């Protein structure tokens, strides 16, 4: 923040909504994305709304079928939470892959969502979980499916006066499984070449249903709906694994950039899905 900037530090959501209703203040949570922009002088804002002290945005609660995660939950909060460990293990796996410990202590789930990077590590998990966002403003609260939140490259359905308040994720049931895999250049601090999360219901090698979220392979995080339909209700065979590998590598639309090529991203995305399917076979059946 420059010497001329104004910073608001409200203690309640109502105060925050009031400020957002009549200013163009830029929301700052953990600041781990925004500080990078500020240091690079790429942030054009003179007024800031620091939401870090708003307790209503914290907490992880068990609400029966779903977990409600406050937008200010940090990766460390997620990693340490017994109910996230039990009912949303892929979110723990994703949180462990974010940055180093300093970033995990300060970076928030809400910040990862609103920052809208196609490479955000939590986003494929929320996509595969069919998460729901609770969004608030002075006009009240609304709920939006996470899979409808991104409207284009780094664009979201959030209005300027709105905050992401919490995220609801359905609890993983005993007969469901999830999976997370990030492929990057090196483990810590790497931005992914592809990042995938899966949630599925399987019984004896039959995939009743599967949901696949993929990041870094399109302008936004995406669900692989075509590949999901191909797999639903089928027994996993070597042939089906090959079909799924092909299908998802054609379904994603990656680009070539500094970190990887389009070709490599398509291929590795197929390989990661194949790995998940083979894991199901290894744990449920005799192997293929």
By C-beta, is 74 or 227 nearer to ligand FAD?
A: 74
**With CB under 6 A as the contact rule, which of the stretches 32-40, 167-175, 222-230, 271-279 interacts with ligand FAD?**
32-40
In the shown chain, the binding pattern of residues 82 to 101 toward ligand FAD, with x for contact by CB under 6 A and - for none, equals ----------------xx--
DSSP lists the bridge partners of residue 222 as 214
Q: Please identify which residue in 1, 16, 32, 236 interacts with ligand FAD, judged by CB under 6 A.
A: 32
Partners of residue 215 on adjacent β-strands: 195
Q: Judged by CB, which is closer to ligand FAD: 5, or 189?
A: 189
Phi, psi of 59 (to 5 degrees): 100, 145
Alpha helices per DSSP H over the chain: 13-22, 34-39, 75-80, 82-87, 89-96, 101-106, 109-115, 123-128, 225-231, 238-251, 262-284
Closest residue by Cα to residue 215 from 245, 182, 256: 182
For residue 164, the tally of other CB atoms under 10 A from its CB is 26
Residue 36 in the binding site for ligand FAD (CB under 6 A)? yes
Q: Other CB atoms closer than 10 Å to residue 100's CB: what's the count? A: 10
Piece of 85-93, 113-121, 169-177, 260-268 that binds ligand FAD (CB under 6 A): 113-121
Question: Rounded to an integer, what is the distance from CA 214 to the centroid of its chain?
Answer: 10
Q: Which of 1, 20, 25, 27 is in the footprint of ligand FAD by CB under 6 A? A: 27
The least CB distance from residue 206 to ligand FAD, in Å, is: 33
From residue 155, give the alpha-carbon distance in Å to each of 113, 149, 158.
11, 9, 9
CB of 103 to ligand FAD, least distance (A): 5
Determine phi and psi for 98, rounding to 5 degrees.
Answer: -80, 125
Stretch that binds ligand FAD, among 60-68, 110-118, 228-236, 268-276 (CB under 6 A): 110-118
| 103 touches ligand FAD by CB under 6 A | yes
Give the distance, in angstroms, between the CA of residue 148 and the centroid of all CA atoms in the same chain: 13
Residues 151-170 touching ligand FAD, rule: CB under 6 A, are: 163-164
126 binds ligand FAD (CB under 6 A): no
Say if CB 236 and CB 281 are below 8 A apart: yes
Q: Check residue 30 for interaction with ligand FAD (CB under 6 A).
A: yes
Residue nearest to ligand FAD (CB): 111
* The one segment of 61-69, 111-119, 236-244, 246-254 that binds ligand FAD by CB under 6 A: 111-119
Work out whether 193 is an interface residue with ligand FAD (CB under 6 A).
Answer: no
Compare residues 8 and 106 and give the one whose CB is closer to ligand FAD: 106
Two tokens, residue 83: 């109910």
Strand (E) or helix (H) holding 223: strand 222-223
Footprint on this chain of ligand FAD (rule: CB under 6 A) = 26-34, 36, 51, 71, 98-99, 103, 106-108, 110-112, 114-115, 120-121, 163-164, 189
């Amino acid at each position: 923040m420059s010497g001329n900037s104004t910073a608001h530090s409200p203690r309640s959501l109502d105060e925050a909504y009031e400020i957002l209703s009549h200013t163009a203040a830029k929301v700052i949570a953990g600041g781990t994305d925004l500080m990078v922009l500020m240091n690079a002088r790429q942030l054009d804002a003179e007024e800031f709304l620091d939401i870090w002290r708003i307790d209503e945005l914290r907490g992880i609660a068990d609400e029966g079928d779903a977990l409600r995660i406050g937008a200010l939950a940090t990766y460390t909060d997620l990693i340490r939470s017994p109910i996230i460990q039990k009912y949303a293990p892929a979110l723990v796996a994703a949180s462990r892959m974010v940055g180093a410990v300093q970033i995990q202590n300060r970076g928030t789930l809400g910040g990862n969502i609103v920052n809208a990077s196609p490479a955000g590590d939590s986003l494929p998990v929320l996509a595969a979980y069919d998460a729901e966002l609770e969004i608030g403003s002075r006009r009240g609260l609304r709920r939006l499916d996470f899979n409808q939140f991104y409207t284009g490259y780094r664009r979201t359905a959030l209005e300027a006066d709105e905050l992401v308040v919490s995220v609801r994720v359905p609890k993983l049931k005993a007969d469901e499984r999830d999976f997370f895999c990030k492929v990057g250049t090196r483990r810590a601090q790497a931005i992914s070449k592809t990042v995938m999360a899966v949630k599925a219901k399987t019984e004896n090698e039959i995939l009743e249903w599967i949901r696949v979220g993929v990041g870094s392979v399109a302008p936004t995080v995406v669900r692989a709906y075509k590949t999901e339909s191909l797999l639903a209700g089928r027994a996993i065979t070597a042939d089906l694994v090959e079909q799924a590998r092909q299908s998802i590598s054609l379904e994603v639309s990656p680009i070539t950039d500094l970190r990887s090529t389009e070709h490599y991203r398509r291929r590795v995305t197929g390989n990661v899905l194949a790995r998940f399917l083979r894991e199901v076979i290894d744990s449920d059946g005799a192997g293929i």
